[in-house]
Amino acid sequence: MSESPEQLARRRAEVKHLRARRPRNWFGRASALLAVGLVVVSWLAGGFSSSDILSSRRLTNLRRFMTEVRPYPLQREDTGPSRASAVWEWARDLLAGKGLSAAWATLALSVAAIVLAGALALVLTLPAARNVASAEPFGLPGTRVVPAARWLWTGIVVLARGLLTFFRAIPEYVWAFLFLSMLGPQAWPAVLALAVHNGGILGRLGAEVVENVEPAVPRALRGLGAGRLQVATLGVFPLVLPRLLLYFFYRWETCVREATVLGLLGFTSLGYWIDDARVRGRYDEMTFFVALAASIVLAGDVASAVTRRVIRNAD
pLDDT surpassing 60 at residue 24: yes
Q: Number of folded domains in the chain?
A: 1
Most confident of 38-47, 192-201, 234-243, 255-264: 192-201
Residues of the domain holding 169 = 90-314
What is the pLDDT at residue 283? 82
Q: What pLDDT score was predicted for residue 165?
A: 93
- pLDDT for the residue numbered 50: 65
Quick check: is 202 in a domain? yes
Give residue-wise pLDDT tens across range 198-224: 999 999 999 999 888 887 777 777 777
For residue 94, give the CATH number of its domain. Answer: 1.10.3720.10
Q: What is the mean pLDDT of residues 8-35?
A: 77
* Cβ 244 vs Cβ 206: under 8 Å: yes
pLDDT, mean over the chain? 80
Intra-chain end-to-end CA distance of the chain, in Å: 46
Report the predicted TM-score, pTM, of the whole model to 2 decimal places.
Answer: 0.74
In percent, the amount of the chain with pLDDT more than 70 equals 87
